Amino acid sequence: MLRTWLDDTPLADFLSLALGRQPMARPSSARQAMPLFEWRTLDRILGAPRLDVLVVRGGRERAGAPPRGLEELRPLLQRGFGVVVRRAERHDAGLAGLARSFARDLPGRIQIQLFATPAGSQGFGWHYDAEEVFIVQTCGSKDYYFRRNTLDPEPVLGAQPDFGRVRDETSPTMTCTLEPGDWLYLPRGWWHVAKARCDSLSISLGVVPSRPAGPPRRRD
């Protein structure tokens, strides 16, 4: 699957030059993933038992029971709340197939998160992940902002980072807009935040590769 997303970039070049080093974005080459996450897909998944889902707005989680379908989600979207479904590959055969296909090109542990974000809002503030992150837009559009992490460049899985430290970050900010079928890769540890231009859906694959991403970093 990753080979298809890379379009005219050889997989070997991505693994040696980009993985763990620098962001990459490609327009339209992830169109095959669009049918995997539509609003009707979200409606069905929200009804699954033992679902790990967050209701968020502006970086804050809403207390209370999560929506169990689109009928319950729509009023929340109108109030600026979005939802994040974690480990979604456990609840949908198509998403599980996406994870398996992705792992054939980039072996490792893969978890899928689904984001439904209302227009003009953001689910989370500036943050970073301890995994390699691949984001594909399936509906609507989002503006993504990202920057190199010079404060905690090698985050540890399971740690509790202080995202408020972004105030001390000095690296330049980059940006791109994702439309349906576009995708973005962000290396482990990179700061990022996204704002939806309209009601949007996106799939995020968090990957911990079986081998280290990139050469060991020099420590002086």
> pLDDT (tens digit, 9 = 90+) per residue, 112-151?
999 999 999 988 999 999 999 999 999 999 999 999 999 9
Domains, the chain, with CATH or none: 2-60+69-156+163-209 (2.60.120.650)
Both structure tokens of 113: 């998160």
Query: What is the mean predicted confidence (pLDDT) over 8-31?
Result: 96
Please give the Cα distance from 201 to 198 (Å, whole number).
10
pTM above 0.85, yes or no: yes
Strand partners, 26: 183
Helix axis angle, 70-78 to 39-46, nearest 10°: 110
What strands, in cross-sheet order, belong to the sheet with 191-196? 174-178, 142-147, 191-196
pLDDT digits (tens, 9 = 90+) for 179-218: 999 999 999 999 999 999 999 999 999 999 986 555 544 4
| 131/109 Cα distance (integer angstroms) | 9
